[in-house]
Copies of this chain bind each other. A is one copy, B any other.
Amino acid sequence: MKPAKAPKVTIRDVATASGVHFSTVSRALDPARRKRISKEVLELVEETARRLGYQPNRAASALRTGRTHTIGVLVPDITNPVFPPILQGIEASAAARGYFVFVANVGDPQLARPILARMQAQQIDGLVMAIALRDDPLIDFVRDNGLHAVMVNRADESGRLPAAVSDDRLAMKLAVDHLAALGHRRIAHLAGPQNVPTGVGRRQGVEQAMHDHRMKPPRVVECESYSREAGQQAMRTLLASGPRPEAVVCCNDLVALGAYDVLREAGLRVPEDISVTGHNDMPLVDMVDPPLTTIRLPHRELGWRAAEMLFDEIEGKSLSASTVVLRPELVVRASTAARNAS
């Protein structure tokens, strides 16, 4: 029968039980210093530690060393399906390197500062930010506090912080190239919020790609957010404000689905009357009607790479690239069709 409560065995208990000084135990149990211990003592200590069920107290170690093996992650909305794979990547890297991850959902940007303050009180070793507006003062705040930090998914354009991102311009080029190959010329863009780096990058990607194809500049409607509702609203605005485009490139999948809603209301068929593309390849967009042509991102790897960069920096082996740009990939499904299909 086991004891009712964990009896908290400390380094001293292990020491007396194995007849050595407690600092010897401390050394023996630290991979970095264990080599300076004689083989016999080392084995003895390890054995008794195991037998007694010793668990190091990280709080004590943290107080002494200033390192908690803990990082914070700031996400805007964990229910947005792009973030779970990113988090998974971060967490996998953290687990592999002996860190733990505090996840905070920063619904309202106003909350970022207080949350960050509390995280600092918890003595986090570093921070992964999946939030941040363009020129966000938060970035300066983080740097001024000497906090190790990296960004993921969204990059800070000024490069003040290392980042792991997908190539937004390439992503949109892939979409436009695909539509161009299908014969479309009048392409519109439902753009993301222009105060967010990805919103700008993707819009520029569309514009650049269309320019390269010698098309007229796209009609652009900015969405208020990356949501289905915002997509509906933007699509309504687009339909109301001019001739119907042949295709519409959307800043993300949710916006594309919002566009679907409005097009259906308006009696327009996708892709016969109008082609639609998304971005993210979130789960189930292959099951919607019609299956959505979109851009797939290596979300999990984005998270993994961001975390690796952060840990390297924390541990002082900061050789890693300052910005990692990963390649997105076009996934063709049934929401795009050749122009003369109608």
Contact = CB atoms under 8 A, between A and B. Distances in A.
Interface stretch (A40-48, A268-276, A283-291): A283-291
Contacts of A122: 58-59, 69-70, 100
Nearest to A290: B289
Given A4-B146, A85-B79, A102-B102, A123 B284 contact: no
A103 interface: yes
18 contacts: A4-B144, A5-B145, A5-B146, A55-B120, A59-B122, A62-B62, A63-B63, A69-B122, A79-B283, A83-B84, A84-B84, A100-B102, A100-B104, A283-B284, A284-B284, A284-B285, A284-B287, A287-B289
Interface residues of A, number: 55
A36 interface: no
A194 interface: no
Contacts of A84: 78-79, 81, 83-84
B55 A121 contact: yes
Q: Is the interface of A mostly helix, strand, loop or mixed?
A: mixed
Interface in A63-82: 63, 68-70, 78-79, 81
Contacts of A147: 6
Contacts of A263: none
Interface stretch (A86-94, A163-171, A204-212, A312-320): A86-94
A8 B59 CA distance: 17
A141 to B, nearest CB: 9
Nearest to A144: B2
Interface of A: 2-6, 55-60, 62-63, 68-70, 78-79, 81, 83-85, 87-88, 91-92, 95, 98, 100-105, 115, 117-123, 144-147, 257, 260, 282-285, 287-289
A66 to B, nearest CB: 8
Given A59-B68, A63-B57, A257-B287, A95 B104 contact: yes
A60 B63 contact: yes
Given A79-B85, A100-B102, A100-B118, A59 B62 contact: yes
A100 to B, nearest CB: 5
B104 A91 contact: yes
A235 B227 CA distance: 34
Given A6-B146, A79-B88, A287-B288, 8 more contacts: A3-B144, A4-B146, A5-B146, A55-B117, A59-B59, A59-B68, A60-B63, A78-B91
